[in-house]
Amino acid sequence: MRHAFAIPPVLRLGLLAAVVLLAAGCGEAGETPAPPTAATIPTGAPPANRPVPATPDPLVATPPAGTTVLPVERVDAGALPAGLPTLVWTRGDRTLGVYGRAGGCTDARLEVVEQGAERVVLRVVQFTTGPGPCTRELLYPPLEVTLDAPLDRRPVVLTGQVP
């Protein structure tokens, strides 16, 4: 007499094979798994198939080699759009630099808007380079301008323009 819940022989054989395979893959009962090896521990480094960013992270950025950070009390970044870095550096007494924001179908440039006796005003411009399709990478290229006269004690005002 067959029961209502009887399992056909073919299905029983498949279930038995699955149990054997699972048991073989799990190791001995009570066995602890092997500790992770150096190859499986995340290091924070990008995978080998991904490019390393050419510019530093602007949120923790340092200026390029051979430059000096302008003290934050001499920088007014209040008119700078959100997401644009506020770090300003000098290279010598007449060159100023900042990090722009670019990538995909955008690029960046730095313009001198004003260089009067009281202050220097710079504008970081992010502009579209083409209609697409665009990739999603985000780069922070270093941008520099040369002033007509040494910066001396003048403050720097950063403004910006993004599409």
Over the stretch 2-59, which tens digit does the pLDDT of each residue have?
Answer: 555 555 665 555 556 555 555 555 444 555 545 444 433 334 444 444 444 555 555 5
Inform me whether the pLDDT recorded for 67 exceeds 90: yes
Nearest residue to 89 via CA among 56, 136, 118: 56
Inform me whether the pLDDT recorded for 68 exceeds 80: yes
3-state secondary structure labels for all residues of the chain: CCCCCCCCHHHHHHHHHHHHHHHHHHCCCCCCCCCCCCCCCCCCCCCCCCCCCCCCCHHHCCCCCCCEECCHHHEEEEECCCCCCCCEEEECCCEEEEECCEECCEEEEEEEEEECCCCEEEEEEEEECCCCCCCCCCECCEEEEECCCCCCCCCEEEEEECC
Task: Tell me the per-residue pLDDT of 73-103, one tens digit each, with 9 for 90 and over.
Answer: 999 999 999 888 999 999 999 999 999 999 8
* pLDDT confidence of residue 44: 43
Measure the CA–CA gap between 17 and 14, rounded to whole angstroms: 5
Task: Tell me the per-residue pLDDT of 123-163, one tens digit each, with 9 for 90 and over.
Answer: 999 999 988 888 888 889 999 999 999 999 999 999 999 88
* pLDDT confidence of residue 25: 54
* pLDDT confidence of residue 83: 85
* pLDDT confidence of residue 163: 81
Q: What is the pTM of this model?
A: 0.63
**In the block, which residue shows the tokens 């009281």?**
118
* pLDDT confidence of residue 112: 97
